[in-house]
Amino acid sequence: MSQSKVPLGLEHFSRLNSSIWYHQPTSRTPSRDPDLVLVLGWMDAQPKHIAKYAAGYEKLYPSASILGITTSAYDAAIATNSANTKRISPALDILYALPPNAKLLIHLFSNGGGFTGMLLARCYRKKTGKALPVTATVCDSMPGRTRMIAQTRAFMVALPKSAILRAIVTFVMYITYPLYRLWHILTGTLDAVEVIRLALNDKSLFDLDAPRLYVYSEADDMVDPKDVEEHADAAAKLGVTVFREKYLTSGHAAHMIQDPEKYWSIVQKLWSGVS
């Protein structure tokens, strides 16, 4: 990849494949920093979005390695499990190589980040027989529930701003969504987002001793804050130490943009409790 095409903010990262960016600090001194920070972007988040959060983590924890993963709508909705496993394999290799007492911070954005986190945890369990050794987790604008309007907005994130194209996508969603819901009812299966919700609270996939921060907003038009709060309540009942930060006016996955100082202070507070 030519230097001119490297997204601003990721010039010092190694691109492991089309979805994964990895940074290792030039020097690592003993510290309470995470050994590895996983930044798992929302559906159709671009590398430039990953870069903004990576920069925040580099400032907070200069001794930490940072692994950023993007996930497209195609990856989440259409790609096969084997294709997705191949896509995240460079990240899995890094996770498999972590020493036993490594400190791992996972930052999940929206249901797209939750999907990638679930996939990583499933592959890790299959390979090692153990849950992903998470030290702390940030759940930003997630997990939600499958709702037609919210899903339509999520799929439109990566679309060009064409009124005609957006109208077509909306029409298709209005036709297919009821069929999708009916299929799950008739087959007795869970929809994709509900599977993510359950996975996050599955002790065979994630270490539930790891404290968890839920950051969400009353103004989010893609994820209902009540859905996030219900999940946080369920996690707390399982013994997870839960922290919540509810914004009032920030949009979906835009809390850091609205108030960076507040955002990073609550992340730092989460980590200080385990380090």
* Chain centroid to CA 78: 18
What's the CA gap between 55 and 153, in Å, rounded?
27
Q: Find the mean pLDDT for residues 10-24.
A: 96
Q: Find the mean pLDDT for residues 186-194.
A: 83
Q: Where residue 159 falls among pLDDT bands split at 50, 70, 90?
A: low
SS3 call for 78: coil
pLDDT in tens, 47-73: 999 999 999 999 999 999 999 999 998
Q: Where residue 6 falls among pLDDT bands split at 50, 70, 90?
A: confident
Q: Find the mean pLDDT for residues 250-262.
A: 96
Which residues, including other chains, have CB under 8 Å from residue 235's CB and lie 6 or more apart?
Answer: 200, 201, 208, 212, 242
Say if residues 252 and 227 touch (Cβ distance below 8 Å). Answer: no
**Which CA distances in Å does 126 have to 42, 130, 205, 215, 275?**
25, 8, 10, 30, 28
Tell which residue, 275, 217, 207, has the closest CA to residue 241.
207
The whole-number pLDDT of residue 156 equals 62
Q: Find the mean pLDDT for residues 123-140.
A: 98
Q: Where residue 164 falls among pLDDT bands split at 50, 70, 90?
A: confident
For the cut 60, the answer to whether the pLDDT of residue 2 exceeds it is no
Q: Where residue 4 falls among pLDDT bands split at 50, 70, 90?
A: very low
3-146+191-272: in CATH 3.40.50.1820: yes
pLDDT in tens, 110-128: 999 999 999 999 999 999 9
